[in-house]
A and B are shown apart, each in its own frame.
Chain A
Amino acid sequence: MDVSVNWLRALVPGLEGSAQELADRISLGAIPVDRVIPVGDDLAGIVIARVTEARPHPNADRLTLCRVDAGTGEPIDVVCGAPNVEEGALYPYVAPGQELPGGFRIESRKIRGEMSHGMLCSEKELELGRDAGGIMKLEGNFEPGASFASAMSLPDARLELDLTPNRIDLACHAGVARELAPEGGTGVVLTEFPGPGWEPVWIDGRTGAESNGVSIRIADADRCFRYLGAIIRGVRVGPSPAWLQARLRGAGARPINNVVDATNYILLESNQPLHAFDLEKLAGSEIQVRAARAGEELRTLDGEKHVLTPACTVIADEDGAVALAGVMGGQESEVSPETVDLLIECAAFDPTHTRHTAAETGLATDASYRFERGIDEVGLEAALTRCVQLILAIAGGEADTEGIRVGGLPPSLAVAELRPERVRQVLGLDLSSARIEELLSPLGFGLRSDGTRELLRFDVPGWRGDVRTESDLLEEVARRHGYDAFPSEPRSFRPSSVPDAPDHERGDRVRRFFAGEGFLEARSLPFVTERRSAVDRIPLLRPLSRAEGFLRTDLASVLLSRVEHNWLRGRRSVRLFEVGTAFGSRSPRPEAPPADPSPDERDAANPFAEERRFAFVITGDRSPDHWGGSASEVDLWDLKGIVEQLAETFDLGPVAPFAGRVDECQRPFGWGMWLHDEAFEVGDGECLAGIAGRVDSRALDAPPWASPVFAGEFRLGAVQVADRRRFEPLPQYPAVARDLAFTLASTVPASEVESAIRLAAPPLLSNLQLFDVYEGEGVEEGRRSLAWRLVFRAPDRTLTDGEVDEAMTAILRRLEADFDVRIRAS
């Protein structure tokens, strides 16, 4: 929404301050002003000139030789390149030696053999608008030689407002002016129009009314609350006077003709959309507001033809739709230079139906914007009256004394209540009733006499449909007081009754772990392509693109695409982790919620599930390149080491070879991407805590130089938050270490051997470590050698060799009994 500062000044007598200062006041008091645009600041060199003669340039098809009267008494020759130059018309003119805005100096020069002294200008050249298609024809009675700037009421400044959805009242100049009106002043004063004026006698009807052969009917009261019509006969359609054109241009609107300009003027001044029909072009004697019929057609003012549906609301005459209610008029009944009699529409259309009409036809207009957000229903009479007065003043004609009014009298003003005590409670301000009234009355709120000192009752002006409750009034008081005028005083507080969410702390701990292990945190968005999505993927109903059409069901596969991204940039070593959400569908799908469900019932009916997870991926070198020797590649044992450390740090449970079970608990972890014989599962609960392993190369788009990729994914909820660490006494007596190497069948898992040793050893065995695994020369086919270091220690004495020998014997006996072991050395 653009407003003209000159127009605001005209509405608020005595308004002080530069355009920028006014913009700041609006920004800090009401709504943001995005930009302040000076308009016509340097037009001192431009005058109005009349083209007295125009003939083709002898040497150029597109040029015209003009003789121009610029009020100097001497005719001036000007060569003009615009297609729209007309004999007798007025245009802005720059004489030689003068400058265009921006500082370009115009000089006399020869153009294709003909002298040109100065230039006729387009809107764009004067930096007044975007129109560069022709020179700017000026409509009105101007004297050649008159200052262009003063004729156009320039300079001005345009404020670009960023309207919030609640403050539709600020979409017009009167609304913005009220925000600027000083306390105790005269408020907003509307310009008085010269001429006869109009004070109608209203012909009322609930659903229809008729006057002088014109009948108006509201067929569907849900779609239109009130519809007012005025008839003006014998107008002369033509250009608007200069002041009116200047106002419209100042607000960024284009003058069209005096009738349309008058409706636009009232729109921009008071926010009421109005429409002028050419009365002669309406068929029959009645128009009505009704739902469009399916397939009904209408060509709107912009020339577009629409095929309508019953979701649209139309104004229709005997032959069919003539306008889209609250959105746009029809071309057929549009006001043209030949129009003599007018029907002026001033209505209150329903916001939701207007929204549907606009959406169905793909139109978004100044009118629909306002109706969708709610117009001032109380102000219809005033707006229509003012519009008729303006048309009579600038287009002549005579208005029927009777006005037609369907839908009833204006609704009475809403009443909103405010307790000064509540001002103290919520705002922390101690304001008297009188002060509150002072703050609110410039905005149009009228203190009613039926309130008390403890309960102020205000009449809410019709244009403030957003103000109904006490808290709405509180906001008005706070704004008028000035947000920055509030003190900023810390107060004592009670601690929150809400405990920390454990997932937040879990995420913190996981981040610290991985950052410490040399991993970088990725934050991927949870959208995936079909390729990356699992069978039970969740499609978005209206995705932005095919590449982001689904929600991820696991984190690891998204990290894989991040690895691919790094590969594309030529990077081979990548270590990433992420903490985020994986999504899934609940199975079986829960039943639909009952009618008017409670929040819990809504949650219960949610067909989707989500789970916080963390995942990591690792590929490439163990460490960065170093001149002292190149690093080796990450392998399965690096992965298992990380997994073991994770499991220990976060108490995730045992790490075991992946059993390949396919059940509801495992499915979520990026199913299908793991190489099953190089993967591990973690956890001993009902559900796995997570899975990690080598990623199947078929799940990756890898360059030839890529290293194997390992990844893991875990439920964040499996991370134990309670700190279970307890001190263990430090050893006081020396330990005895023994090595033990033996061969046994390669098929026996090391973990079974380890548990057998631990089981057989007395509590003296304090540490057990596998330090060598060997298969090959010197060891029989089908067997392998395992070498262990055993450390024995007693808490209360130095062990004797005898005690240790005894323990070793027990272990050996156990191993020989359980497995076919052969001792290599001990």
Chain B
Amino acid sequence: MANEGPALRERLEEIRRRGVAAFESAESQEALEAARIEFLGRGGLVSRAMSDLKALPAEEKPATGQAGNRVKKALEALLEVRSAAIAAAESGETDEVTDLTLPGRRTWQGGVHPVTRVIDEVCEIFREIGFTIATGPEIESDWHNFTSLNIPLDHPAADMHDTFYLDQGVLLRTHTSPVQARIMLEHDPPVRVLAPGLVFRRDPWDASHAPAFEQIEGLAVDEGIDFVEFRAAIDFFVHRFFGTGTRTRFRPSYFPFTEPSAEVDVTCFLCEGSGCSTCKGTGWVEIMGSGMVNPAVFEAVGYDSERFTGYAFGMGPARIALLRYRIPDIRLLYEGDAAFLEQFC
């Protein structure tokens, strides 16, 4: 009886077709239950066909058995789907089809300022190389702001800072550098601090100037700190902040409180060095002023300048935020416009 196996498989296929039709056409749970009993019940069609399996020759059994199981599984799955559909239909839910493309219900987005983002990131990076975070007052004496930093008051170097005075000898700090003096007056080396904060210059408002803006001061003082370590620390920061492919360039500059002084450029992170309007076609963007601490500063705060050396740097997180987020006008940073701030949530 060579064709018994194929015949049984054909019969199973027929049962499947009829079962599908019966389940699909059932409109109530009762009708569905009747169909279930007919096809999947203990004495149902599937079960009876499977019992005929025993009569097949051994070599036909596996293939036909598998076919039987497939039919049974398919009908069971359909039964489940139909049962849920009928239940839903009976409770009246399926008539109203939900449009899932409608927007969801949201709450107000909160977030920190883009300049805060930059400051936080800078602080995190320098923390990795042992820096702590310091703060200092925004109202300073001219001694802290100028004299302690080797800037004579009646000297063109003081012209670089057009200063807001509040009273004789009392001013709004023009840089975060006076924090250097305060820290060193209070603590002995090793000192590794970062001091973010607001600084004030009498610059009228325009797209790239504001009369106050943020600055981050850095200072490291200990025995054995040299220019080589200074370069390495700045390179470490630049690679972490701007990316490992970024290169640095150190140029001579002048700050009374550092010597040698250096301006640090990085390869332009907008055009990657090929030249654009941000880097004025040079491929480089200036990001900080820096240098080895001038021994005169150590002497002003009572450190032994023969024993201790160090480096200091200052950078502008507001300017970095403008460049990084391509914000065209510094005024946007300080207006408190919610539509602007939301973009940085």
Contact = CB atoms under 8 A, between A and B. Distances in A.
Given A484-B249, A574-B338, A607-B170, A504 B133 contact: yes
B130 interface: yes
Please classify how large the interface on chain B is, using the bins under 10, 10 to 19, 20 to 34, 35 or more.
Answer: 35 or more
B132 A500 contact: yes
A602 B191 contact: no
A109 to B, nearest CB: 38
B155 to A, nearest CB: 8
Nearest to A606: B170
Nearest to B235: A488
Contacts of A511: 112, 116
Interface stretch (B6-14, B40-48, B53-61, B182-190): B182-190
B112 A521 contact: yes
A660 to B, nearest CB: 29
Given A479-B260, A515-B111, A626-B106, A520 B338 contact: yes
A498 B183 contact: yes
B231 A603 contact: no
A434 B124 CA distance: 44
B108 A486 contact: no
A495 interface: yes
A515 B114 CA distance: 13
A518 B112 CA distance: 10
Given A166-B254, A489-B232, A559-B336, A518 B222 contact: no
A623 B106 CA distance: 7
Chain B interface helix/strand/loop/mixed: mixed
A496 B132 contact: yes
Interface string B288-311: 000010111000000000000100
Given A581-B138, A610-B139, A544 B204 contact: yes
A166 B334 CA distance: 34
A91 interface: no
A521 B116 contact: yes
Nearest to B224: A491
A183 B138 CA distance: 48
B211 interface: yes
Interface string B314-345: 00000000000000000001111111011001
Interface string A478-507: 110001101111110111111111011100
Given A488-B228, A599-B181, A608 B105 contact: no
A491 B229 contact: yes
B110 interface: yes
A627 B251 contact: no
B252 A518 contact: no
Given A488-B235, A497-B191, A426 B141 contact: no
Interface string A154-182: 00000000001111000000000000000
B287 interface: no
A501 B134 contact: yes
Interface in B196-216: 196, 198, 202, 204-205, 210-212, 214
Nearest to B334: A525
A807 interface: no
B40 to A, nearest CB: 43
B338 to A, nearest CB: 5
9 contacts: A373-B156, A495-B190, A497-B191, A519-B110, A543-B164, A580-B198, A581-B198, A599-B143, A602-B169
Given A428-B226, A497-B188, 11 more contacts: A470-B295, A479-B252, A486-B231, A497-B189, A520-B110, A522-B113, A542-B165, A565-B335, A569-B337, A576-B341, A599-B141
Interface of B: 102-103, 105-113, 115-116, 120, 129-135, 137-139, 141, 143-144, 148, 154-157, 159-160, 164-167, 169-170, 172, 181, 183, 185-193, 196, 198, 202, 204-205, 210-212, 214, 220, 222, 224-229, 231-233, 235-236, 249-254, 259-263, 292, 294-296, 309, 333-339, 341-342, 345
